[in-house]
Structure 1
Amino acid sequence: MRLLGGAGMELTKTVKIQIKLAAESDGDLLRQAMEQYRLACDDTSHYVFNNGLVLNTTKLQSALYRDLRTKFRLKAQMAQSVLRNVTARYKTVRTQLKQKPYRYQDEDGEWQTQTKDLTWLWYPIQFRRPQLDLVRNRDWAIRKNGSFSLNTLDRRITVWPVLNHWLDYFDGTWKLGTAKVLARGGKWFLHISAAKEVPDYEQKQTAHVVGLDRGLRFLGTAYDESGQTTFYSGAKILAKRRRFKKLRAQLQAKGTKSAKRVLKRINQRENGWMTDINHQLSKALVDRYGSDTLFVLEDLTNVRFATEKVAKDRRYEQVSWAFYQLEQFLTYKAAAVGSHVLKVSAQYTSQRCPHCGKISKQQRDHQQHEYRCVCGFRSNDDRAGAMNIQELGRRWLNGTAKPKYTK
């Protein structure tokens, strides 16, 4: 999702369509094109890494376009797509690095942070999974009979969708872009990017203000303007992650080639499962509160859950949940229904008493998951955090541009 300079914002989604091929030979053509495309992306990535991390597609086209066409036999638009794909991947990694700064203790024992950039990479980004990006109306198109025409290195082929859940995105209100061809579990898929302009969110339309505290014991704790609290438990999530962790340890201990192959599948399975959970939670929040809702979240950039107070064998679960992904999912799902996500400072949101405003570390009991203030206020600590976050959202509505708590 991106802003459009006063005209609203662009909502982007990926439409996933399972397809069936007309013949096995068509599958051979797709596999050949996917492998050549992958090799071209990998080759381009090495060039980017070894030449100052240049991410300007015009400069890359001048240096690499001819080789991409001759060395990998790519069509013109496929070669252009390789350059866009590689630069986009590096920009994504750059954003991810910025979200996870390096933490260290200085000479005085104080914790410091240092923002990471692409120079922190030791190796070029690798493209291991075969895929093929096709440009709309050049390398892929939909026909009047409902089939799709796809380009390969040798000729165009016709494929058919298995289901019709995607038809709403082809009604003319969505702008369709690149189609990725993927093969998984013996099945073929098209992942098509779709964009739609939605109006800007205006403060005056707000009907609900929801503070969302993100964590692990509760993946989300939501507190709204009516004083209602909703807890989204993370207990089963933690248990399953520990099973994944144990299974990985067993496979790593074996160290065989077959174990490494299984380990790769396990990692992919866990990542897919985490993505699904974040989709479910963000959808549940949007379904519960609907349109005209201001979802208020802590800005977790440069924030890392303190691990020095967590047992070493539990630190993996404590720091590695995809909170940023949840934020992204909630942002675009909220925008789709006319709601908005506001990020506020995370400073003191877990230490402040929502009743009297006193800020003290000692008032939060991590072991009992309770917040107790000298004023008499007592509550679940995640709920107290959500209440403080919700209050910052109300301050924003009342005219404070960047609300935060200070001692």
Structure 2
Amino acid sequence: MKLVVWVKLLPTPEQAAALAETLHACNSAAGFVSRVAFERKVFSRARLQELVYGEMKARGLSAQPALHVIRKVADAYTVLRAQIAAGLLGEPESPRRVKAEGKPVRFRPDAAQPFDDRCLSWQVDARTVSIWTVRGRMKNLAFTGEPSQLKTLAEHRQGESDLVYRDGKWLLAVTCEVPEAPLNTDPADWIGVDRGIVNLATTSDGDNHQGRGLKRYRRRMARVRAELQAKGTKSAKRKLRRRARREARHAAHINHTIAKTVVADAQRTGRGIALEILDGIRDRVRLRRHQRATHSSWPFHQLGEFIAYKARRVGVPVLEVDAAYTSQTCPRCGHVSRMNRPSRDAFCCVVCGLAGPADHIAAVNVRTRARTAWVFVNTPDAAVSPSYRRGQSRAANPPR
């Protein structure tokens, strides 16, 4: 499986100036190629190369960087056409779609630029890289990173690396091909995971990963964001962008921690992990006005993705099951009623009297549905096989 490792570059002022000049030159060239592609309606990589390769060389780009620029533009238009075909930019006459189709794709001066092994070589033991720039080959450019990430870099680096400039820092996003452990095709049982706002994740084992600290943090950030938005100055907008990235990093760190804990428990006990399908939850759930922003911006999907890829690395199976009525269904007698959940935190079956925390009950129901789904997947006549990919795992869901 492919993973991205981030390392931080430690350039001298002269090296930083050369890197900045290189990014600006590459993205200026990308803007030129994009205009040519838009005006002539030529979007294939091979045709674009015939049209603009000479101009790329005249702009001071070497052969490989020029080809990477052309490929970056072709890929950008491929993504744009895919978004239009999927309806992500609205109807044909919508302002957003008209705007996207009516002008060439633009590239920021400091947008990321890919480098392959011909343009970028690694000296992992010395913690340095040698990289192509418009000023010539730059050697002995130091880098650093987390020990675990550096270990992955040394053992599994394969493919391209992207040069990124973000918040005054120079970074390299490195592609690594990490081997996967054999899939556990005979799990002893399943760990049901219920994702929520007050409790970010509650498992069928009773483990509760509360989100109160993250909720307080996001409320504080919301107040600061409102103050900066009220100012409306350029410096306030820059601070807003920095704070948005900081908030996203904070939430991602918490989700990584939760996912690591859940996957470690499943691996140690030989079980699989069952998650709810939460697609379309914003359309299905009606909330009060003060709850909408928190609900819409909460990283439900990110936590599920983190659990899935970490499980994939260690061979733990993952299933997604139907989320309907998991918090209103009694796991003992099967009675389904809104009255079973008198409050957000409490569950009490009106038929058999089973009581407990609502999130824990939901996680137990997710586990039960995963058991049924796994039996369905492994029947001889099943048309699907267990998979980590979202579309295939949905096909394994049992009917309601």
1:81 matched residue in structure 2: 68
Contact 1:371 1:379 in 2 (8 A): yes
Distance 1:279 1:87 in 2: 34
Determine if the alignment matches structure 1 residue 304 to structure 2 residue 259: no
Q: In the alignment, which residue of structure 1 is the partner of 2:15?
A: 26
Report the counterpart of residue 403 of structure 1 in structure 2: 397
Matched residue type, 1:66:
Y
How far apart, in 2, do the equivalents of 1:169 and 1:195 lie?
9
1:3 corresponds to = none
Maintained 8 Å contact 1:221/1:230: yes
Aligned to 1:155: 136
Q: Is 1:169 paired with 2:135?
A: no
Quick check: 126-135 or 317-326, which moved more? 126-135
Residue by residue over 1:233-278, the C-alpha shift from the partner in whole angstroms, topping out at 9 and shown as x without a partner, is: 0112112111111211111111122221211212121122222222
Could you say which residue in structure 2 is the equivalent of 1:103?
none
**Could you tell me which residue of structure 2 aligns to residue 354 of structure 1?**
331
SS in 2 for 1:350: coil
2:120 aligned with 1:140, yes or no?
A: yes
Aligned to 2:217: 240
TM-score using structure 1 length: 0.77
Identity %: 28
Kindly tell me the number of residue pairs found equivalent between the two proteins: 370
Structure 2 counterpart SS, 1:201? coil
Q: Is residue 66 of structure 1 aligned with residue 47 of structure 2?
A: no
Measured in 2, the distance between the counterparts of 1:63 and 1:155 equals 25
Distance in 1 between residues matched to 2:327 and 2:250, nearest whole Å: 29
The alpha-carbon deviation at position 371 of structure 1 amounts to 4.5
Where is the helix percentage greater, Structure 1 or Structure 2? 2
Q: Could you tell me whether the CA contact under 8 Å between 1:61 and 1:83 is conserved in 2?
A: yes
1:215 positional shift: 0.8
Whether contact under 8 Å (1:68, 1:74) holds in the other structure is no
Distance of 2:21 and 2:44 partners within structure 1: 25
Aligned to 2:4: 14
Displacement, 1:210? 0.7
Instruction: Report the Cα offset of residue 119 of structure 1.
Output: 4.7
- Are the structure 2 counterparts of residues 316 and 63 from structure 1 closer, same or farther at C-alpha, using a change threshold of 3 Å? farther
Match of 2:261 among 281, 284, 290: 284
RMSD: 3.5
Distance 1:311 1:320 in 2: 15
Aligned to 1:107: none
* CA drift at 1:232: 0.5
**How do residues 89-238 of structure 1 correspond to structure 2 at under 5 angstroms?**
116-119=87-90, 121-122=96-97, 123-124=99-100, 127-128=107-108, 130-143=110-123, 146=126, 147-158=128-139, 159-162=141-144, 165=147, 166-172=149-155, 174-184=156-166, 186-204=168-186, 206-223=187-204, 228-238=205-215
Tell me the TM-score normalized by structure 2.
Answer: 0.79
Cα offset, 1:15, TM superposition: 1.5
- Give the conservation status (yes or no) of the 8 Å contact 2:115–2:162: no
Mapped partners of 1:198, 1:73: distance in 2: 42
Q: Distance in 2 between the 1:187 and 1:405 partners?
A: 50
Rate the CA distance shift 1:275–1:367 in 2: closer, same or farther, 3 A.
closer
How far 1:213 moved relative to its partner? 0.7
Q: CA deviation at 1:311?
A: 2.5
Q: Deviations over 1:186-213 (max 9, x none)?
A: 4432221111232552422x24411111
Q: Give 5+ residue unaligned stretches, structure 2.
A: 383-395
d(CA) in 1 for partners of 2:349 and 2:35? 55
AA in 1 matched with 2:136: R
With over 3 angstroms needed to count, the CA separation of the structure-2 counterparts of 1:258 and 1:343, relative to structure 1, is same
Q: Is the 8 A contact 1:17 1:161 kept in 2?
A: yes
Is 2:319 the partner of 1:342?
A: yes
Q: Residues 209-237 of structure 1, C-alpha deviation per residue, up to 9 Å, x if partnerless? A: 111111101110111xxxx2111101121
- Cα distance between partner residues in 1 of 2:165 and 2:328: 49
Cα contact 2:8–2:170 (8 A) shared by 1: yes
How far is 1:43 from its partner? 6.3
C-alpha separation between the residues in 1 aligned to 2:220 and 2:34?
35
AA aligned to 1:262 is: K
- Look up the match of 1:111: none
Q: 1:371 to 1:135 in 2, by over 3 A?
A: farther
